[in-house]
Structure 1
Amino acid sequence: MKTARVFLVLPGLAALAWGVVLFAEYALPLRPDVFGTVGWIVGGPILNDAVVAPLTAVLGIVLARRLPSRWKAPVIAGTVTTAVLAILAFPLLWRPYGTPPMPGLHDGNPALGLTLTIAVVWLLVVLTALRPRKAPPITRDAPPITRDAPPITRDGPPITRDAPPDTRTDLPRTPADPPGTAADPPGTPADRPGS
């Protein structure tokens, strides 16, 4: 296990070191715009960890307690997806050219794109919650437990799906059962007179 961790940590450390090298090439010698970049690099994770993630978590907890069970998972997934999309779109919404130019990135309307994407996410949430669900097949031989059903005890006869109602079926006998109990089939020595 330690070897696997080392092989996972080493590429991460190498990527981190390469990022530091690239940032040093960009930032040195110091200029006024470097401080704005540092603000974005440091402020983004702090804003996410201090504001966006806790708000998303609180909203997810509130929704999980208030919504019916079939709506819980889709709505929580939609809430988290909306938060991630908002984080990704934030630089372009904050100022029109808030990121380095990339072909196709600045050609569109970021607010409209974010709105349409979030609309599709919530449409999928509604469709997922409203889709009909099939009941899982019954895999046990035992009858379903309901509020109305009397408890199944060891003393009473078991209920089977094959037997019609009010049909007595004998329980298997265990070493703890004394002779003559319900577990003995009719005609055993315990039922015969004189035994």
Structure 2
Amino acid sequence: MNAVAAVRAALVLGGAAAAGYGGWHLWPQLPTAWTWLIAGPILHDAVVAPAVGVAGLLLGRLVTDPARRAWAATGLATSAILALIAVPLLWRPQPAPINPGLHDRDYGLGLLLAVIAALIGAAIGAASVSWTDRPKPTAPSTRQPPEQGQ
């Protein structure tokens, strides 16, 4: 067995061990966790992905500069990911016994502020495109073209 095959085998075994360990700890929680294990991908595929796709098409028509379009798409995708991550906390804000300082916050406000920060960052990035990609002014040339026939 060469070194590459040995590394691959070690990575596969390590990944299988980690997945087995996670499954072992998930097993007792399965009656309550299965809703999120099934609902998460369905929510993403049925709601978030189409909404981001439609918004991306609209942004593509509004933002014509490809570099700025990339920044707009980044802000949109980041906002969608933040919203998807926040769904369990917004849906069921107290899933466990109260841990002071951890569960006693306003998750809706936190999501709003995080999305605003992501969109401001994308707007700054899109604005920087015009500052960094502008053509540099060149001084007019004072050299005379060479004479023809010399």
Give TM-score, length-normalised by structure 2.
Answer: 0.72
Q: Among residues 113, 118, 140, which one is paired with 1:116 in the alignment? A: 113
**One-letter code aligned to 2:108:** A
Unaligned segments of structure 1, at least 5 residues: 28-33, 138-160, 170-185, 187-195
**Equivalent of residue 9 in structure 1, options 3, 9, 12:** 12
Choose between structure 1 and 2 for higher RCO, CA contacts under 8 A separated by at least 6 residues: 2
Amino acid at match of 1:53: A
Deviation of the 1:52 alpha carbon: 1.6
Q: Indicate the structure (1 or 2) with the bigger Cα radius of gyration.
A: 1
After TM superposition, give the deviation of residue 100 of structure 1 in Å: 6.7
Aligned residues: 140
In the alignment, structure 1 residue 84 sits paired with structure 2 residue 81: yes
44-53 vs 54-63, which deviates more? Answer: 54-63
1:1-31 deviation line (CA, Å, top 9, x unaligned): 554443433333222211221122345xxxx
CA RMSD of aligned residues (A): 3.1
> Higher helix proportion, which one?
2
| Length-normalised TM-score, structure 1 | 0.58
Overall identity of the aligned pairs, in %: 35
Tell me which residue corresponds to 1:133: 132
Does the CA-based 8 Å contact 1:91-1:99 persist in structure 2? no
Spell out, residue by residue over 1:142-173, the C-alpha distance to the aligned partner (whole angstroms, 9 max, x if none). Answer: xxxxxxxxxxxxxxxxxxx897358549xxxx
Alignment of 1:1-195 (within 5 A): 2-27=5-30, 34=31, 36-69=32-65, 70-98=67-95, 104-131=101-128, 132-135=131-134, 164-165=144-145, 167-168=147-148
Structure 2 residue identity aligned to 1:85: L
Deviations 1:111-146 (A, max 9, x none): 111111111111112122112114478xxxxxxxxx
Unmatched tracts of structure 2, length 5 or more: none
Q: 1:62 to 1:162 in 2, by over 3 A?
A: same
- Quick check: 1:74–1:129 contact (8 Å CA) kept in 2? yes
